[in-house]
Amino acid sequence: MVAPKNPKPKKPGRKPNALPGWEIPFFAALKEYGVIGYACDAASVNRSTVMDRVEKDPDFKSEFDASRESATDKLEREAFRRAHNGVEEAIYHKGLEIGRIRKYSDTLLIFLLKGNRPDKYRETFGNQLSGVGGGPIHIVIQEATPPDDTAA
């Protein structure tokens, strides 16, 4: 008689199947951080379980999208604060703090402007060919004449 094989061991770091009620801590963490992996860890649920629900349950997907939107709004507020109000940083000399300076983020300001007024601030790349005086290009197609084989 052959002994039954042991089931495959689970991969290290995998979470057990989702416990009932995992949605509440999942959505709370997703709203806070906007990172699916963090939210899965907070709710002790597999990412695949979450993504299956997103695909199959329209109400779940709606809450999922709203939670991510909420997290993105927080990020935008923080980007605005850093770009507009700046961040105070310490100035050190020989290991001692000798003062403070407020630094602003021009990069964040640029991204905010591009996001809020893309028609004015986005980088547009395009090539446009035109004819004389900006008019249309006239194309003339000529038939190629075969080489004269008799001139050898």
Q: Is 61 a residue whose pLDDT tops 70?
A: yes
| Residue 138: strand, helix, or coil | coil
DSSP code of residue 131: -
In this model, does residue 138 exceed pLDDT 60?
yes
Question: What average pLDDT does the structure give for the chain?
Answer: 85
Of 29-33, 58-62, 124-128, the one with minimum mean pLDDT is 124-128
Amino acid 28: pLDDT: 96
Secondary structure percentages of the chain, helix, strand, coil, to 5: 50, 10, 40
CATH 1.10.150 fits 23-120, yes or no: no
Closest CA to 65 of 36, 24, 99: 36
What tens digit of pLDDT does each residue of 116-135 get? 898 888 887 667 778 888 88
d(CA 105, CA 47): 34
Q: Rg for the chain (alpha carbons), in Å?
A: 30
Q: Where are the domains of the chain?
A: 23-120
